[in-house]
Amino acid sequence: MSTPAVVVGGSTAGLATALALARRGCPVRVLERAAPPPRGPVAEAVEWWGRPTVPQSGHSHVLTSLGVRVLRRHAPDVLDAALEEGAVLLDLATAAPPGPPDPAEDELVALAVRRPVLDLVLRRAVQALPAVTISWGTTVRGVVSDSAGSHVSAVVTDRGEHVPARFVVDATGRKALSRSWLADAGVAVPEDVTSPTGIRCFTRFYRLREPGALPGPLNRGNAAGGIWDHYAAIVHLADDGVFAITVGTPSDDRATAVLRRPEAFTTAARLTPHVAAWAADEVATPLTPVRVIATPPNALRGTLAPGGRPVGGLFPVGDAACVTDPLYGRGLSLALRHAFLLAELLDTDADPDQAERARSAAESLYRPWFAQSVYDGAARRELWRAAVEGTAPRVPPPPAGRPALAAVARAAATDRTAWRGLTRMLMSLAPPEEVFDDPDFRDRVRSAPDSPAGARPPTRAELLWALGAAEAA
């Protein structure tokens, strides 16, 4: 058997890359530092699966239309397995305003599934492939490169094992360990480009008492709730009658730290439009405590920097290549797209341009979403900062004269064409410039009638008062 590809990291991006490579006939060895997941039925295994190396696994996730498209085209068996485990395909057009539908709306779906369920069905699909070997409890300490530092040919594990590799895929997530591997090997890597998200998320999972009987509409198509002027609160439906409520606040806001307590969390949920119905005692049973996580900054890795000299044989994928604001739920879908795109690029013998082609493809995939996340995060942080300090917000103008997202959202509430464009962007099917720079789209945003005012969320003062009362009680 030929020298295998080595994939470092056995979560979504690594498993998808291993699946894509193996199905193209490439032998793969996956090195995963965590212990293997529990055996048995998926529904039971996810309840016992502790994942200290993937802290975000216990929070809500969404697979956007892009992710569904990737699975339908490249791994329909994985999508079918997720559906058999209770995942649900959500038709986003149920949230569209009146108007003539368009065939393009057929692709506007999202997959409601918990991250551990998706990872387990993906992992079992990978393990069933004879060309794949998974080594659990194995940490990669470094890479072996040629004397010029221009090409990687092996990795070295914490056990001192020297693992030859046809090429190495860095699927180590937000840690992006290939940066340190290269530094230790004396290879210079440009600095990452980063921008803070400034969010702290509080998440709790529930199970509907009557699965299938939703207590309210998913006003966002794949979710219920909203991003308001001083906090966010979102319901994400998942598999098997499970859903998550997530509340996001400024990461440095001490006054809302109390949301980690169930009583305060429930109070906030019951005050929030579109979320309140889901938090009623008669509707659902809590499955978990309130979990808290600080979201990482947006990061476009230095390994994707144009003009730099990419190192041959070493390819970052998923969060090891780019991290975007998790509030918009693009990460899983972008990772899946990148995994199958990378496998296609690597399905040839190594050539002098292979590393540059892979770098360029990844940069083209991620940069539009990174730029959008940076702008959206800056605008949201300014709104939230002003609400906390009681000052007037100074929201930066949208780039390149594009319409403000608030104006687009108002138009999308009454104009189905505007809704379709916005939803394609939010679901990662069309990059922001394709939607927002279209003259017809801009005209529709400008001319759309005002939509009726929706339910009002609590002001910051009202929310803090209610949280204080919950604590006192």
Tokens representing residue 199 in the block? 């969010």
* Cβ neighbours for 1, distance < 8 A, ≥ 6 positions apart: 27
Q: Is 99 left (phi over 0), alpha (psi -120 to 50) or beta?
A: left
Considering 349, 372, 395, which residue would you say is the last residue of a domain?
A: 372
Whether residue 347 has pLDDT greater than 60: yes
Asked if 244 and 60 touch (Cβ cutoff 8 Å), the reply is yes
Tokens representing residue 250 in the block? 């400024």
**Same domain? 306 vs 357:** yes
Q: What is the dihedral of CA 64, 305, 54, 46, to 10 degrees?
A: 30
pLDDT of residue 350: 63
* Cβ neighbours for 465, distance < 8 A, ≥ 6 positions apart: none
**Same domain? 235 vs 169:** no
Question: Which residues, listed in sequence order, are joined to residue 190 by a DSSP beta bridge?
Answer: none
Return d(Cα 362, Cα 282) in angstroms, integer.
Answer: 47
Asked if 27 and 131 touch (Cβ cutoff 8 Å), the reply is yes
Structural domain contains residue 458 = no
Pairing of strands 298-300, 193-195: antiparallel
Number of domains in the chain: 2
pLDDT of residue 38: 87
Return d(Cα 304, Cα 240) in angstroms, integer.
Answer: 39
pLDDT of residue 428: 96
State pLDDT tens for residues 232-269. 999 999 999 999 999 999 999 999 999 999 999 999 99
Considering 295, 330, 350, which residue would you say is the last residue of a domain?
A: 295
Return d(Cα 80, Cα 451) in angstroms, integer.
Answer: 39
**Same domain? 126 vs 33:** yes
**Same domain? 209 vs 173:** no
Asked if 284 and 278 touch (Cβ cutoff 8 Å), the reply is yes
Nearest to 248 by CA among 235, 234, 261: 234
Look at 49-53, 127-131, 173-177 and tell me which has the smallest mean pLDDT: 49-53
**Same domain? 146 vs 50:** yes
**Same domain? 268 vs 317:** no
State pLDDT tens for residues 152-172. 999 999 999 999 999 999 999
State pLDDT tens for residues 425-455. 999 999 999 999 999 999 999 998 877 777 8
Please, how many CA atoms are within 13 Å of residue 312, restricted to the half-sphere of its CB?
A: 15
Please, how many CA atoms are within 13 Å of residue 394, restricted to the half-sphere of its CB?
A: 2
State pLDDT tens for residues 75-133. 999 999 999 999 999 999 999 999 999 998 999 999 999 999 999 999 999 999 999 99
pLDDT of residue 359: 93
pLDDT of residue 422: 96
Q: How many residues does the chain have?
A: 473
Return d(Cα 64, Cα 411) in angstroms, integer.
Answer: 22
Return d(Cα 5, Cα 20) in angstroms, integer.
Answer: 12
Q: Where are the alpha helices (DSSP H) in 75-218?
A: 76-84, 115-127, 178-184
Whether residue 307 has pLDDT greater than 80: no
**Same domain? 307 vs 346:** yes
Q: What is the amino acid identity at position 300? A: L
The mean pLDDT of the chain is: 93
**Could you give the 3-state DSSP secondary structure of residue 34?**
coil
Structural domain contains residue 465 = no
Whether residue 363 has pLDDT greater than 90: yes
SS (H, E, C) 312-380: ECEEECHHHCEECCHHHCCHHHHHHHHHHHHHHHHCCCCCCCHHHHHHHHHHHHHHHHHHHHHHHHHHH
Local structure of residue 408 (DSSP, 8 states): H
pLDDT of residue 400: 77
What's the chain's Rg over C-alpha atoms? 23
Tokens representing residue 269 in the block? 């949920």
Nearest to 402 by CA among 363, 429, 450, 434: 434
**Same domain? 223 vs 356:** no
pLDDT of residue 200: 96
Considering 295, 325, 350, which residue would you say is the last residue of a domain?
A: 295
Band the pLDDT of 10: cuts 50, 70, 90.
very high
Structural domain contains residue 104 = no
pLDDT of residue 59: 82
Whether residue 467 has pLDDT greater than 90: yes
Average pLDDT on 25-33 reads 96
Whether residue 348 has pLDDT greater than 90: no
- Tell me how crowded residue 394 is: count the other CB atoms within 10 A of its CB: 9
What CATH number does the domain containing 241 carry?
A: 3.30.70
**Same domain? 284 vs 303:** no
Please, how many CA atoms are within 13 Å of residue 171, restricted to the half-sphere of its CB?
A: 28
* Cβ neighbours for 148, distance < 8 A, ≥ 6 positions apart: none
Band the pLDDT of 471: cuts 50, 70, 90.
confident
Q: What percent of the chain has pLDDT over 70?
A: 99
**Same domain? 178 vs 200:** no
**Same domain? 291 vs 315:** no
Cα–Cα distance list, 361 to 65, 348, 437 (Å): 20, 16, 22
Structural domain contains residue 37 = yes
Structural domain contains residue 95 = no
pLDDT of residue 431: 96
Q: What percent of the chain has pLDDT over 90?
A: 79
Boundaries of domain holding 154: 5-61+114-194+297-372
Structural domain contains residue 189 = yes
State pLDDT tens for residues 195-238. 999 999 999 999 999 988 999 999 999 999 999 999 999 999 99
Structural domain contains residue 70 = no
pLDDT of residue 306: 77
What CATH number does the domain containing 146 carry?
A: 3.50.50.60
Asked if 110 and 92 touch (Cβ cutoff 8 Å), the reply is yes
Rounded to the nearest 10 degrees, the angle between the axes of helix 115-127 and helix 12-22 is 30
Average pLDDT on 404-428 reads 93
**Same domain? 289 vs 310:** no
**Could you give the 3-state DSSP secondary structure of residue 89?**
strand
Structural domain contains residue 414 = no
Band the pLDDT of 349: cuts 50, 70, 90.
low
